A and B are shown apart, each in its own frame.
Chain A
Amino acid sequence: MIGMEQIVRRYPDFHLEVDFAVQKGEIVTLLGHSGSGKTTTLRILAGFEKSDTGRILLDGEDVTALPAQKRGLGYVFQDYTLFPHLDVGENIAYGLRVKKVSRPEQGRRVRELLELVGLEGFENRPIETLSGGEQQRVAVARALAPGPRALLLDEPFSAIDTERRESLRRHLLRVQRELRIPTVFVTHSRTEALFLSDRILILREGAVEDAGTPQQLYEHPRTEYAARFLGAANILPREEVLRVLGDDPDNPAGPALLMIRPERVRVSRTGPIPARITDRAYYGAWHEYTLDTPLGPILAVTGTHYEPGAALSLDFPREHLVPLVSTAHYG
C-alpha cells in the first residue's frame, strides 16, 4: 500500500492539497490538465520534492522523512531518461548494481525483465537505437528491476505515437496485473485514465475535484468539471429539464444542474422533447447529432441514421440524469 495523508505543498502561486491511498495490485490515476499538480504530487511521493505538511505512507510505514533513494519506489519519467552512457541491459541492471546484486544474478534478472516487457535479446542494444515504445518498456523494466514497493508513472505514453499507444497500454496493464504492484499513474488523457485505472482522481488547481472508479466517474461524476473532463456531456439547468419532462422538482434544494451523456439521450420519432438536427458527424460505428431543442442545443449519439433537418423527439431516461455540483464559480 502507498498513500499520501493530508499532503500540503504551498508555492507562491499554487497550492497543492491531496490525500489518497493505493492498495496492492491497484492502479490509481491522477488525471488533470497541465498545471493541475499531478506531476508535483508524484514527485512528492517519489521524494524528489518535499511537502510542507502531511505524511507519506508505504505499507503502513511513514516514509515522509526518507530521501528518494531509500523509498524503494520505481519511477518512470515522461521522457524515460534512460542513461545515455549505458546499454539496455546496464540500464535495467542499474538498480541491482546499487543493491550489490551479483553479476550472474543481475544478468538473470535483466533477461527475466526483458522477457516480461517483451524485449528479449535487447541486452546489448545502445539506447539511441531504440524506438520510443522500446525506450518506454526499458524504462519500465529498469524501474521494476530492484523490486520496488510501488510503481510511479509520469505520463509514460505522451511521447508515443497514437497507433502504438494502445498496444503499449495493454502491455503495461498486463505487466502490472502480473506483478500486482501498487501503481500511481499520471496522465492528462482521459482515454488512458479510463482504460488503465482501477480508480481515478481528477486534479484541478492542486485539489482533488472528484474521485472514483472509471465507471463511477464517467457515469456519475460529482461536479460539472469532472463531467466535462471525462467526455462529452449535456449539462442543463435542473428545473428546466424537469419542467420539459413534466416531472415534479421534488427537492428544490438539490443541485441546480443535471447531466446526461450523449449516448444516453434517447432519439426517436416520439418523445417529450421536440428536436431538430442542426449538425451531424459520422464516426462509422455511430452518428453524433447536434439537435436544437427548447432546452438549447443537445448532443446525442446513436447508431440510427437521420437526415439533417429531420424533426425528431428526445427523451432523457431518469436513471441517466446525473445531478451535478456546479463548478462555474471556480472560473
Chain B
Amino acid sequence: MGRRHALIALAFLALLVPPVVAVLGAGALERGLLQWVEDLLQVFSRGATWRSARFSLVQAAVSAILSVALALPGAYYLANLRFPGRRMAESLTLLPFVMPSLIVILAVISFYGRAGVLNQLLGTDLRLVYSAAGIILAHVIFNYAVALRIIAGGWRQIDTRLREVSLSLGESGGSRLLHLHAPLILPSILTALAIVFLYCFVSFGVVLVFGGVQFATLEVRIYQEMFTSLNLSGAGALALLQLAMCGAVVILIQLISETHRRESVAGRRTTVRHWASVRPRVRLACTAYWAVVGLFLFAPLGSIVLRAFRPGAGWSLRAFQALWTGRIGDREVYEIIRASFTEILLTSLGVALLAAVLTVSAALAAARALRGRTVPWLDTIMRMPLAVSSVTFSLGMRLLWLGRFPALTLILLTQAVMAFPLVFGSVRQTVDALPRRYLEAARSLGAPPLFRIRTVELPVLRRGLVNAFTFAFALSLADFTAILTIGRGEVVTFPVAMYRLIGFQSFDVALALGVWYIALVALAFIVIDSTATGYGRRSS
C-alpha cells in the first residue's frame, strides 16, 4: 500500500515541482546568487508588494463570502427539492465558471459598464466595473457555480433519515437547521469558501483589466515583473510569496476535510422532495431565487449576444459573417487571428478532448489506487496545483521543457495538472461511492480486473465520470494562460483568437466568437449531460 501511494505522489510531484522551482530560481541563474538575494530583499521591502498582498487577500475573502452566500439557497434547493429544470440549473450555472476570463470580462463590461445594458435600462450612471467592485462582481459570477456544487454535494450526503429522527423527536424547523443541518453542512461551506478564495486570490485576467494601476493582485504583479519590468528575480520572489499564502490556504482546506471526514454510513438514504409535495411558499421562493440567479449570471452573458448581433446601431450578422469570410470592412480577420475559424474550432476541440481524456484517466487511476482509504498527505499533494498560479506554472513549463518536448504536449500536461485537483476531487468522490463489495462480488464470480472495470466500475461510475470529463473538457477549452504562454501564439484556440481580436480593436468579431464559444459549451454540456442518465439502458 505504501509503495503505490509513494509512486503516485512522486509522479505527480515530478510534474508539478520542477517548473515552479524553475520560475522561483530563474533569477538566481540569471543574476547570480548574491544579486538575486538583493533583488528579493528589494521586492519584499516595497510597500506596493504588501499592498498587493493585502488587496489579494481582501478581495478574495469578500468574493468568497459573497459567492457562498449567494450559492447557499441554490445548493439547498438542488439537493433537496425536485424543482422543474433542476438538472438544467445544475448544468447551466456552471457555464460562467468554464468561460474564459476574457468572456466574463466582456460580459461584465457590456452589462454593468458605463455604457452597459444596466445603466441604459435604469437610466443611471453607475461606475461599477473598473474598481474593486467590478473585480468582486466578476469573481462572484465566475465562482458562484463552484460554491453551488461543493455545498450541494455536501447537502446530498446528509441522510434523510436524520431529518426524520429530528421530526420524530419534535424538533422545530429552526432548531433543526441550527443544530442538525448547520453542523453537517459546515464542512462543505468552509471548503467552498476556501476554494473560491484560492481562485480569486490567484485571479489574473479580471484584475488585470479591471484593476488598472490602483488594484493589483500578486498574480498581476508577477506578470508585470516578468513582462513589463523584465525582472526575473522579482517575479520569482512574488511567486514565492503567493505560493506561501496559497499553500497555507490549501493546508487549511486539508485540515477542514480531515476534521470533518465522516465514514459513509451503510444504508444511508437520501430522498429529494417532489415539487408538488412542498408548500406554495417554498415553490415561490425557489422560483424567485433561480430567477434572480439566472438574471445575475446570464444577463451579462446575454448582453454579449445582444451586442454581437448589434455591432453598430442596428441588427446585423456582419460580425458572424466575418468569421466565415475572413474579412470585415477592410480588415483581414484571419490575419489578425493567424488562423481560420475552422482551424480555431478544430484546435480548440482537439486540445480540450485530449486534455480531458488525460486528466480524467490520471484522476481515475489515482482515485482507484486510493479507493476507500484516507491518505491525508497524498490528498494534500493532489491539491497542491490549487496553490500554484497558472501563470507561474505555465511559465515554468515553458522555461524548463520547451524545445525538448512539442508545445502541444506541454500544453496538454499543463492543463491536466492545473485541472487535476478539481477533476480528481470529483472522480475520487465518485469512485469512493462505489463500495468495494461490488468489486469483491465480481471477483467472487471469477471476473478478472479488466472485466470488472468494464462491466461493473465504468457502468456504475458512468455519470460521475462523464461529469468529471465535461468539467475537464470545459476547463481546457477556457484555458488562456497555458495556451498563450507555452504555445507562443502557434496554437490558436478561442481565447487566443479573442485576445488577438480585442488587441486589434475588432470587438464585434471578438463578441461573435464569444457567442460561438458560449453556444458550443452550452451544447456540449446539454449533450453530454443527457447521455449520462442513470445506469444507461434503463431509465426507471
Contacts and interface: CB of A to CB of B under 8 A. Distances in A.
Interface stretch (A65-73, A179-187, A310-318): A65-73
A261 B536 CA distance: 58
Interface stretch (A5-13, A80-88, A108-116, A224-232): A80-88
B538 A77 contact: no
Nearest to B440: A48
Most A C-beta atoms less than 10 A away, residue of B441, B442, B459, B540: B441
B446 A72 contact: yes
Interface string B449-490: 001000110011000000000000000000000000000000
Given A79-B266, A81-B435, A83-B438, A68 B444 contact: yes
Interface stretch (A92-100, A285-293, A299-307): A92-100
B459 A85 contact: yes
Given A87-B538, A126-B540, A81 B437 contact: yes
Interface in B61-115: none
Nearest to B537: A85
Interface in A130-149: 142-143, 145-146
B456 A83 contact: yes
Given A73-B444, A79-B266, A85 B536 contact: yes
B401 to A, nearest CB: 40
A84 B448 CA distance: 20
Q: How large is the interface on B (under 10, 10 to 19, 20 to 34, 35 or more residues)?
A: 20 to 34
19 contacts: A46-B444, A47-B443, A68-B444, A69-B447, A69-B448, A70-B446, A77-B440, A79-B437, A81-B435, A81-B438, A81-B440, A83-B441, A83-B442, A83-B456, A85-B456, A87-B538, A95-B445, A97-B455, A98-B447
Contacts of A128: 540
A157 interface: no
A69 B445 CA distance: 6
B460 A77 contact: no
Nearest to A139: B441
Contact of B441 (A47, A67, A81): A81
A95 B444 CA distance: 9
B535 interface: yes
B435 A146 contact: no
A245 B142 CA distance: 89
Nearest to B447: A98
Contacts of B446: 69-70, 72, 95, 98-99, 146
Interface in B410-455: 435, 437-438, 440-448, 451, 455
Contacts of B441: 75, 77, 81, 83, 142
Interface of A: 46-48, 67-75, 77, 79, 81, 83-85, 87, 94-95, 97-99, 126, 128, 142-143, 145-146, 152
Interface of B: 266-267, 435, 437-438, 440-448, 451, 455-456, 459-460, 535-536, 538, 540
B438 A68 contact: no
Contacts of A97: 455
A94 B460 contact: no
B460 A84 contact: yes
Contacts of B440: 46, 48, 68, 75, 77, 81
Lowest 8 CB-CB distances: which A-B pairs, in order? Answer: A85-B535, A95-B445, A75-B444, A68-B443, A81-B437, A85-B459, A69-B443, A98-B446
Given A94-B447, A152-B444, 11 more contacts: A47-B443, A48-B443, A69-B444, A70-B446, A77-B437, A79-B437, A81-B435, A81-B440, A97-B455, A126-B540, A146-B445
Nearest to A75: B444
Contacts of B535: 84-85
B279 to A, nearest CB: 29
Contacts of B267: 79
Contacts of B460: 83-85
Nearest to B458: A85
Contacts of A47: 443
Contacts of A74: 444-445
A142 B445 contact: yes
Nearest to A99: B446
Nearest to B435: A81
Nearest to B448: A69
Nearest to A87: B538
A128 B437 CA distance: 17
Contacts of B266: 79
A94 B445 contact: yes
Contacts of B459: 85
Contact of B538 (A69, A70, A126): A126
Nearest to A96: B445
A145 B443 CA distance: 14
A263 B228 CA distance: 97
A214 B441 CA distance: 30
A249 to B, nearest CB: 53
